[in-house]
Amino acid sequence: MVFKQIQPYSQRTISIPNILTLLRILLTPLFIILLIKRLYPQGFLVFALAGISDALDGFIARYYDQRTLLGAYLDPLADKLLLVSAFVCLGVLQVLPAWLAVIVITRDVIIVLGIAIFTITEKPYEVQPSLVSKCTTAIQLITIMVILLHHSFDLLGFALAPLYGLTAGLTICSGLHYIYLGMVILQEEV
């Protein structure tokens, strides 16, 4: 997420991308229930559907100029909700290493704390993912997909250890990047 000068959005709040984002939020509890019941193939399908809705809402918002301020906040919230739920559940179920879940969750807590600090100090910012953040989200999604594929169909188990390392490394880099950006913004004159 890069914090920069705020750009205008459509004044509409109801749009196809926002509806798709709300669908992704509503799929998250179903996904959690499936993981708790260790129904990994069904969990994989719900997670894949959520991923498709994420790609589709972004495409529609950009291509058909349906970007909204609500969507700018809801979309990353939906992503965080799904990913944090996945990492927490899979960590608790001991399907992925607990240390990896802690790293992913810590980065997201840092982001939320940063936003809270900006709000309290009335620093203007816009929620927009940086390149490192997009790469981090992509590798986290891939890691969850591979874990679910491995536990559903005994596929790609060889890829798990390298994915864990890559996910941890990118997540840490992204967290440090946000801390740096936050410090720069806090030192700027309003």
Asked if residue 48 lies in contact with residue 141, where contact means CB atoms within 8 angstroms, the answer is no
Q: From CA 84, how far away is CA 43, in angstroms rounded?
A: 15
Which of the 8 DSSP states describes residue 98? H
Nearest Cα neighbor of 46 from 85, 98, 3 is 85
* Bridge partner residues of 128 (DSSP): 2
CA pair distance 1, 127, nearest whole angstrom: 6
Angle, alpha carbons 6-7-13 (nearest 5°): 105
Tokens 């880099």 identify what position?
A: 173
Tens of pLDDT along the chain (190 residues)? 444 444 455 566 688 999 999 999 999 999 999 999 999 999 999 999 999 998 898 888 888 888 888 888 888 889 899 999 999 999 999 999 999 999 999 999 998 899 889 889 888 877 677 899 989 999 999 999 999 999 999 989 899 999 999 999 999 999 999 999 899 888 887 6
Give the helix/strand (H/E) hosting 75: helix 69-92
- Please give the structure tokens belonging to residue 104: 């992913």
- Tell me the domains of the chain and their CATH numbers: 16-187 (1.20.120.1760)
- Round to whole Å and give the CA distance between 51 and 59: 12
Bridge partners, 10 (sequence order): 68
Global pTM exceeds 0.75: yes
